[in-house]
A = this chain, B = another copy of it.
Amino acid sequence: MTDEVVPTAAALVIGNEILSGKVQDTNSRDLALLLRRLGVRLQEILVVPDDRARIAGAVAHLSKSFDWVFTSGGVGPTHDDVTIEAVADAFGVGTTTHGETADLIRRHYGDRCTEGHLRMALVPEGAALEVIESVRWPTVRMRNTFVLPGIPEVFRMKLAVVEAVVGRHRPFVSHAVYTNMDEGHLKPLLDAVVEAFPNVDVGSYPTWTDPRFRTKLTFDGLEEGAVVAAKERFLASLPAGEPQWTDP
């Protein structure tokens, strides 16, 4: 059971607006939550500027290191949108105009269609254009790398395509315990659980502002039995009368 291969993934967030603090990135968290639900382990999030060489280098590295890569941003028509060219560079191919996407753009904009609009039909040579019933505008996938837009509403919409293509694997199980003990006192209790349950990922998160508890403990893994047993072992080790609650 523990040798089961869990698919891995990385997110590549592209945009000067994130690095300058103008915009809070939320796309990587929406992706993280979806991948968690699908049973895919997100191993890295990387944010880089709108720089073709930097993006290309990152895609080349990440696409070799992880099963799936998801880029966010840099796919519009303007000068700072260089993700398509960079993904093509990363895979050593050129770019080409995707006929059906260009037709969709021409129909959408009619007489007002410009060369700029048609730039959005540009794809790396050899890319797959993913379409599902609920998201008919094609989504670019170059081998294991999905090219997703940066606008959060559109990014979230496209996650349905990711789910359809990546598929559902064995989902992670997650249990939580909340206590008023601090981490210094919890450490020996947690060390014992970590040692006894090597397949359970035990997390400890102190809070400074939540009046209801001081530390949140999480027990995550693929085997529900082990996760529950680790949580129960931890609960049994708490001092008598120490207040705590669990979820679930």
Chain A residues in the interface with B (C-beta under 8 A): 13, 16-26, 28-33, 35-36, 41-50, 76-80, 109, 112-117, 119-120, 151, 153-154, 172, 174, 183-188, 190-191, 194, 201-209, 218, 220
Report the separation of the CA atoms of residues A24 and B109 in the bound assembly, to the nearest whole angstrom: 37
A160 CB to closest chain B CB, in angstroms? 16
Whether the pair B80, A208 counts as a contact (CB closer than 8 A) is no
Contacts A44-B47, A49-B43, A183-B77 hold; do A21 and B17 have CB atoms under 8 A apart?
A: no
Contacts A19-B32, A47-B44 hold; do A114 and B207 have CB atoms under 8 A apart?
A: no
A206 CB to closest chain B CB, in angstroms? 6
The chain B residue sitting closest to A73, CB to CB, is: B205
A39 CB to closest chain B CB, in angstroms? 12
Report the separation of the CA atoms of residues A242 and B170 in the bound assembly, to the nearest whole angstrom: 53
Whether the pair A76, B183 counts as a contact (CB closer than 8 A) is yes
Whether the pair A151, B208 counts as a contact (CB closer than 8 A) is yes
Report the separation of the CA atoms of residues A225 and B24 in the bound assembly, to the nearest whole angstrom: 28
Q: List 24 interface pairs A-B (beta carbons < 8 Å), by A numbering.
A: A17-B218, A19-B32, A19-B41, A19-B43, A20-B42, A20-B220, A21-B33, A22-B174, A28-B47, A43-B48, A43-B49, A76-B183, A77-B184, A79-B194, A80-B204, A112-B184, A112-B185, A113-B184, A114-B184, A114-B187, A116-B185, A116-B186, A151-B207, A154-B208
Report the separation of the CA atoms of residues A114 and B78 in the bound assembly, to the nearest whole angstrom: 57
Whether the pair A206, B76 counts as a contact (CB closer than 8 A) is yes
Whether the pair B32, A45 counts as a contact (CB closer than 8 A) is no
> Of residues A78, A153, A220, which shows the largest number of chain B Cβ atoms within 10 Å of its Cβ?
A78
Whether the pair B32, A18 counts as a contact (CB closer than 8 A) is yes
Set B29, B35, B41, B190: member contacting A78, Cβ < 8 A: B190
Whether the pair A24, B29 counts as a contact (CB closer than 8 A) is yes
